[in-house]
Amino acid sequence: MTAEYKVLGDVAVITLANPPVNGLGFSTRTGITDGLSKALEDAAVKAIVITGAGKAFSGGADIKEFGTPKALQDPNLLSVILALEASTKPIVAAIHSVCMGGGLELALGCHYRVAAPGTSVALPEVKLGLLPGAGGTQRLPRVLGVETALNMIVSGEPVKSELLASLPGQKLFDKLAASPESLFEEAVEFAQSVAAKDGELPLVRKLPCKHPQGDAYFQFARNMVGGMSKNYPAPLKCVDAVQAATQMKFDDGMAEERRLFTALMFTPESLALRHLFMAERAASRIPDVPEDTPQRAIKSVGVIGAGTMGGGITMNFLNAGIPVKILEMKQEALDRGIATIRKNYEAQVKKGKLKADKYDQRMALLSTTLAYDDLKDADLIIEAVFEELGVKEKVFNELDRVAKPGAILASNTSTLDVDKIAAFTKRPQDVVGMHFFSPANVMKLLEVVRGKETAKDVLATVMAVAKKIKKTAVVSGVCDGFIGNRMIEQYSRQAGFLLDEGATPQQVDKAVEKFGFAMGPFRMGDLAGNDIGWAIRKRRAVEYPDMKYSRTADKLCELGRYGQKTGAGWYDYQAGKRDAIPSELVNKMIEEHRKELGITPRKISDEEIVQRLVYALVNEGAHILEDGIASKSGDIDMVYLTGYGFPIWRGGPMHYANQVGLYNVAEAMKRFAKNPRDDASFWQPAPLIRKLVAEGKQFS
Ligand code: 3HC
Ligand code: NAI
């Protein structure tokens, strides 16, 4: 059992002890009811305190148990809370650090609550596509008022205990402890004081629950919430559940909450969000790098190149309070780079997103140099110079010469071989790829590219650094394009074939955006610059002369239509604006090209467009797993969710394929292979997909 029981004088103490966050799994629930029975049987015990060991009171229901029989096995969370309410001896929740979800619901089932200042209090179920399912929607409005409670439930955001304790009329906390350190002692004293009192024990369920404007308020709330959460059913269901609290008797409201909770549990959106929660955390674990691998200290950073990427990379570290020295070849380049960083920060200050003094503090951490010797003390040096192997060679030769022993040398290359770059030094074990995405100060994704000689402590350190600078880091092996760009190449190739066969850029973009991508492939090309893909295709044409692809994108670039930066790409753009206007010229160019190829255009359904683009990602993703470039399918999903605008509520390409069913995905691939305009060899389902289909399994 993962809850401990002890008696201190006349107070029994039940301590949740299920690290890391005291999730309320079966063994913890059993521990609570077991402790409760002992306390009730022991005549010497006059009151009970429930608290949590370690870094949380409780992070809520055990997410890992969801969907397994254990989640419902008695005692379930509802029956535990009922048992607490029924206790004839007063129960005090001693709340600290984190009190979330089922943890807060458990506390609301206690007679009293004493909280430490600084506790993060939340009902975050909505972030998992759920609503609080153990009375949160019924009890929180009774102690905080309908509006405050509904805001917390619909946003899922944590609120600090001291703020909640200061709200007029709040009944959530009976006492705010002086400090986290004194919480336990104060809670025990509080328990003794209430034990000495006569009279009925207070229960949250008995408090009234009304909003003065009644249903009109809920209509207003629905309008607000509906607009903000169009792809997610949970937020509106949260409103329904809280409204039920104001309209129904407590037990009926509880039944309604349960009904809504159970229905949400099986929605694809909730499955996707729960997958995301787990995958995000699992991404930081590298199978052969133990969690206790020692890390190198990173107290200062060097960045080579103050261009598009160097500037954004630098900002990440300044934001995290880590000093950065940028090196460039010429003073003008440094001045330009620093001016861009300043401009970015000033825009944030203007928008009220950054305080002026914070801006000054960040800029004070920044220094510049033209001399490599000035980087001799840096703990981590990230190179972001031109994408040419010869240039990288010069840079890494210099770094090898000046960097102190043990410094980590990283390259932000997006296409070059990290092993070759590592070989430019005499310390390949210290070299790693850190592939940021543009704009590097905004995009969450960081592909950490593991060279064949990269040391384990280098990997462990870079993963920890990524967390510090608030990136989602995913480890990729060395291959052309790493995980993300290797897959996007297949997606883009399909987009090109679709144009040749009869679709327009607008139709493709619309279909994909309707599926949920932030941007379709052609709008994305115009934003990133169509010349980037052009350069890659030219290289590919030499490396793989037989590779089949549509020439339409090349023709576009031959017209100088690189995208937004040239004012024209797949779409037309008005000066200074980003709105994509369908281009007659481009559509004519596509038609001409079809004629050259002798293709009679056909009507292509949106369903086919989406399937070909998304399943292209899935098939290449499967090859990436087979090749050991990614260690788990969740990592691929994280890359697509955080770096490529894949719709969050669909959980990433590999999760989505699992949901569609790999058998169905493989059958569609076989159909696409029969299309003479497509690439039949690419559409052979990857051996991993065939194996999983044969075994009736999914990507794991
Ligand atoms: N159940 C099981 N494991 C949990 C968990 C939970 N509720 N919450 C966190 N964990 C695990 C994580 O998976 C991770 O495990 P790992 O080390 O094996 O990867 C570990 O705890 C640490 O998590 P974080 O890396 O997120 O640690 P932080 O210290 O940054 O954050 C936290 C801690 C604030 C508790 C954060 O983990 C969090 O927000 N957790 C989710 C809380 C939540 O959604 N609770 C509601 C659950 S649903 C519910 O209660 C239903 C009920 O209404 C019926
Ligand atoms: P950029 O052209 O904007 O900036 C490169 C900078 O490096 C220039 O300021 C240049 O003066 C400087 N530089 C060149 N050689 C140098 C040297 N020997 N020593 C010091 N400074 C030198 O290029 P960008 O876009 O920032 O790309 C940099 C790297 O990041 C490339 O490897 C690129 O592939 C990679 N990358 C680019 C992304 C993008 O979207 N732009 C995304 C992810 C990675």
Question: 403 pLDDT band (50/70/90 cuts)?
Answer: very high
Q: What end-to-end distance do the CA atoms of the chain give, in Å?
A: 29
Q: Which residue has the tokens 């590298």?
A: 286
pLDDT at 536 over 90: no
Residues 167-209 pLDDT 10s: 999 999 999 999 999 999 999 999 999 999 999 999 999 999 9
Q: How far apart are CA 249 and CA 261, in angstroms?
A: 18
Indicate the helix (H) or strand (E) that contains 113.
strand 112-115
Number of neighbours of residue 572 by Cβ within 10 angstroms: 17
Q: Which residue has the tokens 């991993």?
A: 688
Q: What is the full DSSP assignment across 436-482?
A: E-SSTTT--EEEEE--TT--HHHHHHHHHHHHHTT-EEEEE-SSTTT
Name residues whose C-beta falls within 8 Å of residue 694's C-beta, 6 or more positions apart in sequence. none
Cα 334-339-341 angle, rounded to 5 deg: 100
Q: Which residue has the tokens 């003065």?
A: 212
Q: Give the ligand with the smallest distance to the CA of 531.
A: 2
Mutate to test the pocket of ligand 2, among 308, 326, 340, 418 (most ligand atoms within 8 A of CB): 308
Q: How far apart are CA 90 and CA 110, in angstroms?
A: 8
Name beta bridge partners: 3. 16
Q: How far apart are CA 491 and CA 682, in angstroms?
A: 11
Among 184-198, 533-547, 663-677, where is mean pLDDT lowest?
533-547
State how far the alpha carbon of 512 is from the alpha carbons of 40, 500, 607, 639, 648, in Å.
60, 17, 9, 18, 14
How many helices (H) does the chain have, and how many strands (E)?
Answer: 28, 19
Q: Measured in angstroms, how far is the CA atom of residue 370 from the centroid of ligand 2? A: 16
Q: Where are the alpha helices (DSSP H) in 353-417?
A: 356-364, 389-402
Q: What is the full DSSP assignment across 540-579?
A: HHHH-TT----SHHHHHHHTT--BGGGTBSSEE--TT---
* Helix, strand or coil, per DSSP, at residue 338: helix
What pLDDT does 71 receive? 87
pLDDT at 493 over 90: yes
Q: Measured in angstroms, how far is the CA atom of residue 63 from the centroid of ligand 1? A: 7
What pLDDT does 547 receive? 87
Give me the mean pLDDT over the 664-686 stretch. Answer: 97
Question: 514 pLDDT band (50/70/90 cuts)?
Answer: very high
Mean pLDDT of the chain: 97
* Helix, strand or coil, per DSSP, at residue 148: helix
What pLDDT does 237 receive? 98
Indicate the helix (H) or strand (E) that contains 478.
none
Q: How far apart are CA 208 and CA 215, in angstroms?
A: 16
Q: Whose CA is nearest to atom 12 of ligand 2?
A: 305
Residues 459-484 pLDDT 10s: 999 999 999 999 999 999 999 999 99
pLDDT at 373 over 90: yes
Q: Which residue has the tokens 């190198």?
A: 296
Q: Which residue has the tokens 């110079």?
A: 385
What crossing angle do the helices spanning 331-350 and 308-319 adopt, rounded to 10°? 50
Q: Distance of alpha carbon 353 from its chain centroid, rounded?
A: 21
What pLDDT does 445 receive? 98
ipTM above 0.90, yes or no: yes
With beta carbons less than 8 A apart as the criterion, state whether 305 and 383 touch. Answer: yes
CA atoms within 13 A on the CB side of 179: 2
Name residues whose C-beta falls within 8 Å of residue 328's C-beta, 6 or more positions apart in sequence. 304, 305, 306, 334, 337, 368, 370
- Can 147 be counted among the known catalytic residues? no
Q: Measured in angstroms, how far is the CA atom of residue 312 from the centroid of ligand 2? A: 11
Tokens of 645: 């605008």
**Ligand 2 in contact with 472 (CB < 6 A)?**
no
Q: Measured in angstroms, how far is the CA atom of residue 290 from the centroid of ligand 2? A: 34
Q: Distance of alpha carbon 613 from its chain centroid, rounded?
A: 23
Q: How far apart are CA 480 and CA 417, in angstroms?
A: 7
pLDDT at 496 over 90: yes
With beta carbons less than 8 A apart as the criterion, state whether 213 and 221 touch. Answer: no
Residue 586 one-letter amino acid: V
User: DSSP code of 408?
Assistant: E
**Ligand 1 in contact with 234 (CB < 6 A)?**
no
What pLDDT does 306 receive? 97
State how far the alpha carbon of 253 is from the alpha carbons of 84, 144, 366, 533, 687, in Å.
19, 17, 56, 56, 51
What pLDDT does 648 receive? 96
pTM for the structure as a whole: 0.94
pLDDT at 363 over 90: yes
Question: 252 pLDDT band (50/70/90 cuts)?
Answer: very high
- Can 501 be counted among the known catalytic residues? no
Give me the mean pLDDT over the 341-363 stretch. Answer: 97
Q: How far apart are CA 371 and CA 331, in angstroms?
A: 11
Name residues whose C-beta falls within 8 Å of residue 298's C-beta, 6 or more positions apart in sequence. 322, 379, 380, 408, 461, 465, 468
What pLDDT does 539 receive? 86
State how far the alpha carbon of 122 is from the alpha carbons of 93, 100, 159, in Å.
15, 5, 6
Atom index in ligand 1 nearest the CA of residue 282 equals 19
Cα torsion for 696, 641, 66, 49, to the nearest 10°? 160
Atom index in ligand 1 nearest the CA of residue 77 equals 54
What pLDDT does 48 receive? 98
pLDDT at 68 over 90: no
Mutate to test the pocket of ligand 1, among 2, 18, 21, 100 (most ligand atoms within 8 A of CB): 21
Q: Measured in angstroms, how far is the CA atom of residue 413 from the centroid of ligand 2? A: 9
pLDDT at 233 over 90: yes
pLDDT at 53 over 90: yes
Among the listed residues 4, 65, 85, 125, the single catalytic one is 125
Q: Where are the alpha helices (DSSP H) in 67-125?
A: 77-86, 102-109
Question: 281 pLDDT band (50/70/90 cuts)?
Answer: very high
Q: Where does residue 202 rank: exposed (0-12), middle (13-18), buried (19+ CB within 10 A)?
A: middle
Question: 67 pLDDT band (50/70/90 cuts)?
Answer: confident
Give me the mean pLDDT over the 625-652 stretch. Answer: 97
Q: Give the ligand with the smallest distance to the CA of 285.
A: 1
pLDDT at 576 over 90: no
Number of neighbours of residue 246 by Cβ within 10 angstroms: 19
* Helix, strand or coil, per DSSP, at residue 192: helix
Residues 405-441 pLDDT 10s: 999 999 999 989 999 999 999 999 999 999 999 999 9
With beta carbons less than 8 A apart as the criterion, state whether 422 and 428 touch. Answer: yes
Q: How far apart are CA 136 and CA 100, in angstroms?
A: 10
Phi-psi sector, 563: left (phi>0), alpha (psi -120 to 50), beta: left
Tokens of 152: 């917390």
Residues 287-332 pLDDT 10s: 999 999 999 999 999 999 999 999 999 999 999 999 999 999 999 9
Q: How far apart are CA 25 and CA 61, in angstroms?
A: 6
CA atoms within 13 A on the CB side of 683: 22
Residues 585-605 pLDDT 10s: 999 999 999 999 999 999 999
Name residues whose C-beta falls within 8 Å of residue 425's C-beta, 6 or more positions apart in sequence. 396, 397, 399, 400, 409, 431
**Ligand 1 in contact with 639 (CB < 6 A)?**
no
What pLDDT does 633 receive? 98
Question: 541 pLDDT band (50/70/90 cuts)?
Answer: confident
